[in-house]
Structure 1
Amino acid sequence: MQQLVRSGVLAAVAVASALALTACGSGKGDEPGKGASAAPSGGASAPAGGHGAGSTLASVEGSWSGMTDGKLVNLTVSASGQAVLITEAHVCQGTAKEAGHVTLALTCKDGSTDRTTGTVESADGKQLVVAWDGGKKDTLAKTSAPMPTDLPSVLPSGMPSIPALPSLPPES
């Protein structure tokens, strides 16, 4: 039962991320260069003293999930550099940019600033570590949740339609 609930939660997060990613790209809330700094190139994980040196957009693409301070954190990054973060009651979206390392520049709908500018410290295809300028650090695992382009192929077919709600009698 717990596995079914967990799968349902991951599917819901994937769909929410997909919907949010398809709404991205208007240019609103994008802050190019915010929090970006030069870093030497290197391997897929951060060398000592470096922040995400050598991480690429391809290495962070996909859906990631984990727990930070006992709270669920979900991050989805598309190949085009659109990013969506869902945690606690916050939904944040923006961009992931590659310039020797990957930086995230997000805007949260509720004004939260805990996770608006982040730097990928490491990404090895299984685990992603993001350090946020707000002081938080998330260690996330790759999930099997589908990317937005994969959704039509993974959604079940032949699902029954939702019945219409009966009309209520007018109040007297």
Structure 2
Amino acid sequence: MTSEGSSSLEQRSTEEQILRTAAFEEKRALEEVRKMLLEEHSHLFRWLNGSLLAVNGGAAAAVVASEGLDGTTKAVAGSFFLAGILVALLIAVFGQRSTQKTLPKFQNLIGYWIAVSIDGERDEELESELKSDIMEPLWLAHASQACGWISALLFGSGAISLGVGLFRLGT
């Protein structure tokens, strides 16, 4: 074998080793990101959902228990608060479905990088497809966020209608 051919093989071997190392690091980073996203999502989800359920539920209970409000004010404000509770529950539904659909896709990408770290060969088309697959269920995450804002707006609407009802009582 010529020194030129030997040099080419050594260069290819070095490039494969670099690619394998990079793939292993990419896999490790993806596993860390997956873990961090799950933990952060779980903590934020529980806090946000609990808060929205608590404020809407507490307000609904206060409206129902209030003796000084007229029936219309109770019905309007109570409806807003009840709707806020129901929409807050939708946060859980969309969040759960988003996680269920995203995790297997994340695992596929991690599996791809495991294969690259073993055989040293990249398939850029497959890599791009796997990355775009992860983005597919993103609409569920957006729907969950929208439900959070809608629940908060419903609480605000209930509070305003309650305030209007109390103002009418005072005049």
TM-score between the two structures when normalised by the length of structure 2: 0.24
Q: Per residue, is there more strand in 1 or in 2?
A: 1
If you compute each CA radius of gyration, which structure gives the higher value, 1 or 2? 2
Q: Which has the higher helix share?
A: 2
In the superposition, the TM-score normalised over structure 1's length comes to 0.24
